Chain A
């Protein structure tokens, strides 16, 4: 045998093999900290489920990337009548991933389902009282009374459009192998381990997704997510530990990004108890906290100091500044209120939330400077919630996030009493704020409505039923060859926009 010939034959064979192969499928691998509980959009409120659903299902309209407005989704265009009572949607020629068209009937079914008894989000959709199907691609929704947030609520994951026939036929089993009109289809779901998605060939945005497959690896340990990224086992790691961000950014081939999502962290003050019933005391507490130091020390710089218990979102007043850090003035105010020697109070904190725990300990030290002696009490998250709800607390470290881009949802929660949570269990009440809230919900979007929100947030800031802390950033770390990955202000991410450029 002649060795040279053998080698040549081998080379030839491999060249044939190479040209015969299609381009390798591109897979984007993302390490995510949450294991989705269910893919039924009306039954969930956990991040893992919501983020996965938004990759599989689509909504009529959706928040744009800035989070300040809405952009077309399955609805190509829409009109809102002048009195705000009639919403007309024109659907685009979209298909579910199995090729069946998305029709007005599917839309009515999905929204009615979201408003039904078994839905956790029913109150968002009940204001829509009737539907009229004009034709397969046009639907008119009617409200009994003006409710401006209704339109925005249709951009929420709970209003995902589902194929009526299949959900009715399969029942709960549909959500084990769901069919949607979103950019990806579920290929395999190994519970607790990974979710494998593949490109929806019928997705209405032509050419997207850019990658062929996407895998969400469930890695609940933040450090383990980073290690997986460094080992090259994943392309993107969500929520790396904030204290490792700088380190990660310095590594070859890895870059990090961050965004401040719609979230505000604060300390609830029980205003039914002394001394928190005194506005001067509440203001003094706000002035005794060095927010910049908290952002540096607790968030490792990944965040912004907060001026109110509201995220910085639509209609926010850019002029509204956080309370200045002024321990001397705080002491004066306390003395004026009759607490020259300070007082003792308990501070509840979720023992499972590392950042909140660190914040609580820092707050304890800062408040000590103005004579307020704080006893930090660590409770399991659920117990903390029950305790504040029953009003059996002094102060409690907590936060609020917004699921929609309309500030109505969150102001109703943190500012309005009684409405949904008695101003998040602070029991603080402002008649003016309550009035504005009623008004705002009937006022069409625009400057007038914006002014109402600014006034409500100003009242919240001035009367300070909370110690306002900060807006923490959401971070991610990715391999350099991953292009255009970002977390949106609504905390989710669009994998259909992501490219892999190796």
Chain B
């Protein structure tokens, strides 16, 4: 197991080099001059040139790529043109909020999805199953920005139960403040999990080993907890893996509306201001995160299902 993980880690190196190369080259063809964005529309040509030299934008492309690789290896990921700080510092400021939303929304999703998936599977084809499925289909279809505003207007503004946005200090304050944004993300994750887990549960219920277990005289809940549920959770783990990768960079709308200073809003702001080093650094950083999350998901499969081996 340990060796297998090590092997997977080594395999990441060529993947990451590929990612740095692609993200670097893609940004080279992106229109817009960072120097003129930084200095505003009224800067003179000499001032712009001085700025480009200061940032090394006048160097040949391969030299710039080499600098970029060096920054990635040394862990700073480069220095932001606008914030004038190492990118790793910017990331460190914002990552906790993004990770908090990732974890928090996943917990919320599981709390919502598990009981409803089980309930639906147990009542397959009956009214309850159909009703639950329809509700979750609607949840998938709801646009997040709309849901954000509805929750803010209803729970925060009218009932005053939650703040309308922003983050605070300390674990418990943020647990409270990040509830609504995590709920928005969590609801759509819940919908995905509910649909797939329901199907997996139904499949598992029909499996031969379940009949065997029953024939051996195991009680209903024992069959469910020891045989049906673990076998069905494989699909849930893979959905969570994919979702987590998506949430890390994909919660921009939620972050913007709830004023959460996460990585998604940093990425969008940097794209708007043409802060090339930040965009590049973040792309690589996201790639590392996604690859890591996938690795963790794979390990989780292996733990949940003895038939899967890490090779």
Chain A interface (Cβ < 8 Å from any Cβ of B): 35, 37-38, 40, 43, 45-46, 117-118, 120, 122-123, 172, 175, 190-194, 217-221, 223-224, 227-228, 230-231, 233, 352, 380-383, 385-386, 389, 400, 409, 413, 420-421
- What 8 pairs across the A-B complex have the smallest Cβ distances? A192-B261, A382-B32, A45-B40, A37-B82, A193-B261, A120-B39, A219-B259, A383-B31
Q: Considering the chains assembled together, what is the distance between the CA atoms of A89 and B255 in angstroms?
A: 48
Cβ-defined contact, B265 with A193, below 8 A: no
CB-defined contacts of A380 to chain B, threshold 8 Å? 32, 272
CB distance from B40 to the nearest CB of A (A): 4
CB-defined contacts of B31 to chain A, threshold 8 Å? 382-383, 386
CB-defined contacts of B54 to chain A, threshold 8 Å? 117-118
CB-defined contacts of A382 to chain B, threshold 8 Å? 31-33, 36-37, 272, 274
User: Taking A37-B83, A221-B256 as contacts, is the C-beta distance between A193 and B166 under 8 angstroms?
Assistant: yes
Q: Residue of B at shortest CB range from A45?
A: B40
Q: Residue of B at shortest CB range from A387?
A: B31
Cβ-defined contact, B167 with A233, below 8 A: no
CB-defined contacts of A383 to chain B, threshold 8 Å? 31-32
CB distance from B43 to the nearest CB of A (A): 7
Cβ-defined contact, B42 with A420, below 8 A: yes
* Contact digits for B296-311, partner A, Cβ 8 Å, 1 yes 0 no: 0000000000000000
CB distance from B151 to the nearest CB of A (A): 11
Would you give 8 A-B contacts (Cβ < 8 Å), ordered by A?
A35-B261, A190-B261, A221-B256, A224-B257, A231-B157, A383-B31, A383-B32, A409-B42
CB distance from A114 to the nearest CB of B (A): 12
Q: Is B258 an interface residue (CB 8 A)?
A: yes
Q: Considering the chains assembled together, what is the distance between the CA atoms of A190 and B94 in angstroms?
A: 10
Q: Considering the chains assembled together, what is the distance between the CA atoms of A383 and B93 in angstroms?
A: 30
Q: Is B149 an interface residue (CB 8 A)?
A: yes
User: Taking A382-B31, A386-B31 as contacts, is the C-beta distance between A221 and B42 under 8 angstroms?
Assistant: no
User: Taking A37-B83, A193-B261 as contacts, is the C-beta distance between A120 and B32 under 8 angstroms?
Assistant: no
CB-defined contacts of A46 to chain B, threshold 8 Å? 82, 273
CB distance from A253 to the nearest CB of B (A): 14
Within 8 A of A (CB), among B58-104: 82-84, 90, 93-94
Known: A352-B272, A382-B33, A386-B36. 20 other contacts (CB 8 A): A38-B83, A43-B84, A45-B38, A45-B39, A46-B273, A120-B40, A120-B51, A190-B167, A191-B83, A191-B90, A193-B261, A218-B261, A220-B265, A221-B259, A227-B152, A231-B156, A231-B164, A383-B32, A385-B41, A386-B32
User: Taking A37-B83, A224-B259 as contacts, is the C-beta distance between A191 and B33 under 8 angstroms?
Assistant: no
CB distance from A417 to the nearest CB of B (A): 14
CB distance from B1 to the nearest CB of A (A): 40
CB-defined contacts of A175 to chain B, threshold 8 Å? 84
Interface size class of B (residues with CB under 8 A): 35 or more
Q: Considering the chains assembled together, what is the distance between the CA atoms of A400 and B41 in angstroms?
A: 9
Q: Considering the chains assembled together, what is the distance between the CA atoms of A311 and B243 in angstroms?
A: 50
What total of A-B pairs shows CB separation below 8 Å? Answer: 115
CB distance from A123 to the nearest CB of B (A): 6
Cβ-defined contact, B163 with A231, below 8 A: yes
CB-defined contacts of A223 to chain B, threshold 8 Å? 149
Q: Considering the chains assembled together, what is the distance between the CA atoms of A231 and B257 in angstroms?
A: 15
Q: Residue of A at shortest CB range from B168?
A: A193
CB-defined contacts of A231 to chain B, threshold 8 Å? 156-157, 160, 163-164
Cβ-defined contact, B165 with A192, below 8 A: no
CB-defined contacts of A352 to chain B, threshold 8 Å? 272
CB-defined contacts of B272 to chain A, threshold 8 Å? 352, 380-382
Of A117, A400, A409, the contact of B50 (CB 8 Å cutoff): A117
Q: Residue of B at shortest CB range from A398?
A: B41
* Contact digits for B10-42, partner A, Cβ 8 Å, 1 yes 0 no: 000000000000000000000111001111111
Q: Considering the chains assembled together, what is the distance between the CA atoms of A40 and B85 in angstroms?
A: 12
Q: Considering the chains assembled together, what is the distance between the CA atoms of A172 and B85 in angstroms?
A: 9
Chain B interface (Cβ < 8 Å from any Cβ of A): 31-33, 36-44, 47, 50-51, 54, 82-84, 90, 93-94, 149, 152-153, 156-157, 160, 163-167, 256-259, 261, 265-266, 269, 272-274
CB distance from A423 to the nearest CB of B (A): 13
CB-defined contacts of A400 to chain B, threshold 8 Å? 41
Max chain B C-beta neighbours (<10 A), residue from A227, A383, A413: A227
Q: Considering the chains assembled together, what is the distance between the CA atoms of A194 and B166 in angstroms?
A: 9
CB-defined contacts of A413 to chain B, threshold 8 Å? 42
Of A192, A219, A386, A421, the contact of B266 (CB 8 Å cutoff): A192
User: Taking A193-B261, A219-B166, A230-B157 as contacts, is the C-beta distance between A40 and B256 under 8 angstroms?
Assistant: no
Q: Residue of B at shortest CB range from A36?
A: B83
Cβ-defined contact, A217 with B259, below 8 A: yes
Cβ-defined contact, A227 with B38, below 8 A: no
User: Taking A45-B38, A227-B152, A231-B160 as contacts, is the C-beta distance between A193 and B259 under 8 angstroms?
Assistant: yes
CB-defined contacts of B160 to chain A, threshold 8 Å? 231
Q: Considering the chains assembled together, what is the distance between the CA atoms of A217 and B163 in angstroms?
A: 13
CB-defined contacts of A193 to chain B, threshold 8 Å? 166-167, 259, 261
Cβ-defined contact, B261 with A219, below 8 A: no
CB distance from B192 to the nearest CB of A (A): 26
CB distance from A203 to the nearest CB of B (A): 27
Cβ-defined contact, A233 with B164, below 8 A: yes
Q: Considering the chains assembled together, what is the distance between the CA atoms of A123 and B46 in angstroms?
A: 10
Q: Residue of A at shortest CB range from B167?
A: A193
CB-defined contacts of B157 to chain A, threshold 8 Å? 227, 230-231
CB distance from B260 to the nearest CB of A (A): 8
Cβ-defined contact, B156 with A227, below 8 A: yes
CB distance from A251 to the nearest CB of B (A): 12
Q: Considering the chains assembled together, what is the distance between the CA atoms of A35 and B163 in angstroms?
A: 20
Q: Residue of B at shortest CB range from A410?
A: B42
Cβ-defined contact, A192 with B47, below 8 A: no
CB-defined contacts of B266 to chain A, threshold 8 Å? 192
CB distance from B132 to the nearest CB of A (A): 32
Q: Residue of A at shortest CB range from B258?
A: A224
Q: Considering the chains assembled together, what is the distance between the CA atoms of A76 and B292 in angstroms?
A: 61
Q: Residue of B at shortest CB range from A191?
A: B93
Cβ-defined contact, B33 with A386, below 8 A: yes
Q: Residue of B at shortest CB range from A192?
A: B261
CB-defined contacts of B93 to chain A, threshold 8 Å? 190-192
Q: Residue of B at shortest CB range from A379?
A: B31
Q: Considering the chains assembled together, what is the distance between the CA atoms of A224 and B157 in angstroms?
A: 11
Q: Residue of A at shortest CB range from B50?
A: A117
Q: Residue of B at shortest CB range from A230?
A: B157
Cβ-defined contact, A227 with B164, below 8 A: yes
